[in-house]
Structure 1
Amino acid sequence: MTHLRIPALRVLLGSILGLLLMLGGAAPALAHAQLESSSPADGTVLEHAPASATLTFDEHVRPIDGETRLTRPDGTSTTLEAHSRDDDVLAALPSDLPDGSYVLTYRVVSADGHPVTGTLDFSVGAPSTIPAAPSAGSDTGADAGAGTDTAAHEEPGAGAATLVPVLTVAEYLSLLVMAGMLLCSVLVARGAAARAVMASGRATRALRGLALVAAAAAVLLVPVTAAEAAGWTRMGAGLSAPPVVGAGAVVLGAALVIGAGGARRPALSVPGALLAMVAPVLVGHSASIAPRPLMLVADVAHLLAGAVWSGGLLAAIAMLTVLHRHSAAAEGVAVVRRFSLVALVSVLVLAASGTTMAVLILDTPSALVTSAWGRTLLVKLVVVAVAVGLAAWNRTRLLPAIASADAPWERLLRIMRREAALLLGVLAVTGLLVNLSPHVHSMESMSGTESAQVDAPVAPATSGAA
């Protein structure tokens, strides 16, 4: 970045582009629920055919109608009726199972609205060649006899798996920047000139635009998440309460911000922004990580601190740019000093809440490098560390120079814009973390499974988070 004047829109688009490039090389979105055990167990050989199958997860899940299927040794497939009981999914098996090997395929929705798909195999009597699990869209019931599924199955979530992380990132970026700018207008903009910047027509339009983007993304996530779970033509089967409740809270909060005119009426807009910002917690990791009260507090504190630092920094840049243009150096110094103090508190809260969340979420310390969630978290921490370094430089070196009338305004604004770009990238990575699992999954760990369509790889009989 060699120029001084870099529009905030370019910074925002650059951060989104960087995240999309990261998504292009990332693994598929991983779900948060994990299969802990099954009966029959994966890979087991039974003397007699079982009457039913039981899948035990580490949290409550809901089976999707028509998506629990049993493939027989001859390759034909039967759709099973499955229902949930606490953390178990139970499915009655046909009574006429001949000897041979079978594959059970399941697709369920976890407590946070994410789909979980997996397979397990078992044998009755003498094992045979393990049949291939039916692929979506295939007609598996031809000449299969009574009770088999003769309808072609829609590819669940075709295209939705790509839209979910994009919409989630858009929602998080908009919500946190919007909330941070409004909080900065209350905590930092104390002088008349600074308040006028935050109440200007340009700032009001920006805040209303962010509110509209957040609301649109939240609303679109409801059908898209359902389609990811059950398919576009069967979205009703994939709907769950958390995304609907979360979207409603975001829309209500965004409406309050728009109706209040942004920072012109902070007493109404700030509560609206905070309501909309904490809504994603309902569908994130906090929905399934115990102890839930502690996780909720840590998650909300983390979001609040991140919003104050990142969105507040953009607001501070806007105020300093106008104050510099009008040679209001004294008020500019006051803005930087107040924001530096607010940012320092935010960093401390980020560190404490982030550490608490990592301890609660990660199964083991090694998951920090062996899981996609842990590696993404490390990327986020590195970017935050660089941003902290830039902020420290601003406060310890440039701010004293401005106060003594040396006035290196252009250098201060340039570094603050770089810091803002880094923090917007952090917010984008935060949106990505919501769609990744903290559990360690790999295709290699799935014993006995030769063919599987897995949106969220699940390792049967592997213990999940306590």
Structure 2
Amino acid sequence: MSTTVAARRSPRPGLLLLVLVAGWLGLGVATAGPASAHAELVSTDPGESARLDEVPAQVTLRFTEGVSLGAGYARVLGDDGARVDTGAATVEGDTVTVPLRGDLPDASYVVTYRVVSADSHPISGAFAFVVGDGELADAGAVATDPDADPFVAAALPAARSLGFAGEAVGLGVPAFLLLCWPAGWASRRMRLLTTAGLLTVAGAAVLTFLLQGPYAAGAGLGSLLDPTLVGATGSSSFGLTTLGRGALALVLAALLVPLWRRAAPPQSQEAAGLAVLGGGVVLTTAAVGHPVAGSLPVFATAVTAVHVAAMVLWLGGLAALLAGLVRPGVEAGELAAALPRWSRVASGAVAALVVTGVVQSVREVGSPAALVSTTYGWVLLAKLALVLLLLAAAGVSRVWVQQHLGVTRARPGGRRRVTAHAFAAAAAGPSGAEEGPVVEAARARAAVQARGAVEDVAPLRRSVLVEAAVAAVVLVLSAVLVGTPPARATIAEPVDVTLPLESAAGESGSVQLSIDPARAGANTLHLYLFDDDGQLAQPADLRVTLTEPEQEIGPLDVDLEPAGPGHWVADGMSIPGAGTWTAAVTVRLDEFTATTASTDFPVR
């Protein structure tokens, strides 16, 4: 609830959200770097479907970001499914190396892998290569990669949701008491709510830790306590950070015990200690998943930490309002003392959520096209829609507060709303101006209101309940986003480029290339050829080839079909695998003159 009861106008977070989203849609991908926050295989040696003269000493796989084997594997199998590697696969940064035995015959071999990316998600796949003149094996038939167990896949986001909810309550409630409602430290409800929230954080952290092993290995719930999987998770940064979050939550719960017994706000040093521990819980929440992978991990982690802290302040305040302040028979003076402070805190939290949310979206989505064509994008849109609904409910709460805790006094040029609490403060201070009967009557009504109870608190409670219910769904969607590959990592970006044709005598015309969707597998290529005057041209001969230098694939000739004057099409053009490919065009204008052009493009 972003309730405004002060005399001056507050910022409108909903308008800010719309402005920022519109700006992001306008900028698109221009402000975002090329790196993605989810590992992808970009090259292998030997390459996919490669035909070699002799068995290599090792197989290497290179990804877009650092990976680990963890609970996964990297193996090389013969065409009968038996392992032919030495069993000593190693990882160095973004490269996995699998040594092979030295006594292998000419045959077809299948490489199968399941590694864990820096954002804790498993990446798996398989490909084949052949040594000698034999037939290439079917990688899918030889290597069967286990899918994620459906119960594990559902339990992991559920555990994250519990952890987020626990943080909102366990950290947000004491923050609300410290910043807005000091008298609440004597409330038994606040003590129980905070303790339950912090214990939930610790329990969710342990559950997430245990589920990560089966999730990475593609195993079921029966392997939850498998020592190998637990050890693999425990040796990873994800596992250590997750357990650290649970430990910090337990320490914070223990330090709060004497404060609850004292039923009084903490002293400055105590408050600083609680803030440091709470900040540690927030930071360990931000330091896993998508923020730590891809480009600018330190910046992304800092932005996510601010996002989590703002979420904690806003949703924790809602929980404290429902459990403590917004109840039948509440004293108007008590509300008038807490709600103005809460208004400022909530408005700042909402603004921080909006700004950091847009920054995260630009990094993880990258372009408006990815927003509406990927699972991550659609889930993010649903989350944004719910945030707008939250802001609408906050507006209803603000109106209630103005009607029940505010009075009207005359001012030159109009009227404005001020709070009963503000009138009480004004009455206590000196005043050098004469006060008319309208102001005196207003102060009298304010005094009566402050002494009495607010009878009709039900509408405020309903609006706060709506906020809390919608916020619970937002937390679930946030947990789903954490486990979903970012849109930038899953969307393929078609190639559409115009290149100058170069020869020994200089530039001579241009060629326009379009490759869609620039994915591994079947693609469609359109080629338009223009002369020096920009007119469609018809050459004596035309050739297009594809090459992947790092994987030593190609040049592969592309079969072109005429589609009109100066226009050729290759429908179903095959790109064997992911990587950075080069499309080269050679145009022979006559018997003596040839021009060339080339462009590099990523294939996902």
After TM superposition, the score normalised by the length of structure 2 is 0.60
Q: In 1, are the aligned partners of 2:46 and 2:60 still within 8 Å (CA)?
A: yes
Q: Distance in 2 between matches of 1:440 and 1:60?
A: 15
For residue 276 of structure 1, the aligned residue among 276, 281, 287 is 281
Residue deviations 1:400-457 (CA, integer Å, cap 9, x gap): 2112479742111111110111112212222222212104449995649xxxxxxxxx
Give the C-alpha shift of residue 187 in structure 1. Answer: 1.6
Partner of 1:399: 401
For residue 187 of structure 1, the aligned residue among 179, 182, 187 is 179
Residue deviations 1:307-341 (CA, integer Å, cap 9, x gap): 1111111112333334x424x11331343332222
Partner of 1:246: 242
Q: In 1, are the aligned partners of 2:168 and 2:311 still within 8 Å (CA)?
A: yes
Q: Distance in 2 between matches of 1:64 and 1:273?
A: 30
SS in 2 for 1:106: strand
Are 2:472 and 1:424 aligned? yes
- Identify the range of structure 1 (358-367 vs 53-62) with the bigger mean alpha-carbon deviation: 358-367
SS in 1 for 2:212: helix
Partner of 1:461: 579
SS in 2 for 1:78: coil
For residue 66 of structure 2, the aligned residue among 50, 55, 60 is 60
Partner of 1:169: 161
Partner of 2:211: 224
Q: Distance in 1 between matches of 2:491 and 2:75?
A: 22
Partner of 1:310: 315
Judging changes above 3 Å, is the alpha-carbon distance between structure 1 residues 95 and 249 closer, same or farther for their aligned structure 2 residues? same
State the one-letter code of the partner of 1:325: G
For residue 39 of structure 2, the aligned residue among 16, 19, 33 is 33
Structure 1, unaligned runs of 5 or more: 1-30, 138-154, 449-458
For residue 133 of structure 1, the aligned residue among 132, 135, 142 is 142
Q: Distance in 2 between matches of 1:256 and 1:464?
A: 48
Query: Structure 1 vs Structure 2: percent identity of aligned residues?
Result: 28
Q: In 1, are the aligned partners of 2:161 and 2:476 still within 8 Å (CA)?
A: yes
1:288-367 equivalences in 2 (<5 Å): 288-322=293-327, 324-326=328-330, 328-367=331-370
Are 2:71 and 1:69 aligned? no
Q: In 1, are the aligned partners of 2:128 and 2:136 still within 8 Å (CA)?
A: no
Q: In 2, are the aligned partners of 1:175 and 1:273 still within 8 Å (CA)?
A: no
Q: In 2, are the aligned partners of 1:42 and 1:447 still within 8 Å (CA)?
A: no
Q: In 2, are the aligned partners of 1:42 and 1:460 still within 8 Å (CA)?
A: no
Q: In 1, are the aligned partners of 2:376 and 2:484 still within 8 Å (CA)?
A: yes
Q: Looking at both structures, which has the greater relative contact order when contacts are Cα pairs under 8 Å and sequence separation is at least 6?
A: 1
Give the C-alpha shift of residue 271 in structure 1. Answer: 3.5
Are 2:99 and 1:51 aligned? no
State the one-letter code of the partner of 1:358: S
State the one-letter code of the partner of 1:370: S
Give the C-alpha shift of residue 99 in structure 1. Answer: 5.0
State the one-letter code of the partner of 1:337: P
State the one-letter code of the partner of 2:190: A
After TM superposition, the score normalised by the length of structure 1 is 0.76
Give the C-alpha shift of residue 65 in structure 1. Answer: 7.5
Are 2:236 and 1:118 aligned? no
1:383-398 equivalences in 2 (<5 Å): 383-395=386-398, 397-398=399-400
SS in 1 for 2:372: helix
State the one-letter code of the partner of 2:192: R
Write 1 or 2 for the structure with the bigger share of helix: 1
Partner of 2:254: 258
Partner of 1:376: 379
Q: Distance in 2 between matches of 1:121 and 1:297?
A: 42
Q: Distance in 2 between matches of 1:96 and 1:49?
A: 9
Judging changes above 3 Å, is the alpha-carbon distance between structure 1 residues 258 and 202 closer, same or farther for their aligned structure 2 residues? farther
State the one-letter code of the partner of 1:135: T
Taking only aligned residues, the RMSD between alpha carbons, in angstroms, comes to 3.2
SS in 2 for 1:121: strand
Q: In 2, are the aligned partners of 1:211 and 1:258 still within 8 Å (CA)?
A: no
Partner of 2:587: none
Q: Distance in 2 between matches of 1:68 and 1:400?
A: 64
1:104-115 equivalences in 2 (<5 Å): 104-115=111-122
Give the C-alpha shift of residue 248 in structure 1. Answer: 2.0
State the one-letter code of the partner of 2:350: V
Q: In 1, are the aligned partners of 2:314 and 2:346 still within 8 Å (CA)?
A: yes
Q: In 2, are the aligned partners of 1:370 and 1:440 still within 8 Å (CA)?
A: no
SS in 2 for 1:119: strand
Judging changes above 3 Å, is the alpha-carbon distance between structure 1 residues 105 and 158 closer, same or farther for their aligned structure 2 residues? farther
State the one-letter code of the partner of 2:61: L
State how many pairs are aligned: 400
Write 1 or 2 for the structure with the bigger share of strand: 2
Residue deviations 1:238-261 (CA, integer Å, cap 9, x gap): 441332233123312332223313
Judging changes above 3 Å, is the alpha-carbon distance between structure 1 residues 156 and 238 closer, same or farther for their aligned structure 2 residues? farther
Structure 2, unaligned runs of 5 or more: 1-36, 408-448, 493-516, 523-576, 581-600
Give the C-alpha shift of residue 180 in structure 1. Answer: 1.4
Q: Distance in 2 between matches of 1:75 and 1:209?
A: 51
Partner of 1:148: none
Q: Distance in 2 between matches of 1:257 and 1:74?
A: 57
Q: In 1, are the aligned partners of 2:45 and 2:60 still within 8 Å (CA)?
A: yes
Judging changes above 3 Å, is the alpha-carbon distance between structure 1 residues 118 and 252 closer, same or farther for their aligned structure 2 residues? same
Q: Distance in 2 between matches of 1:434 and 1:330?
A: 42
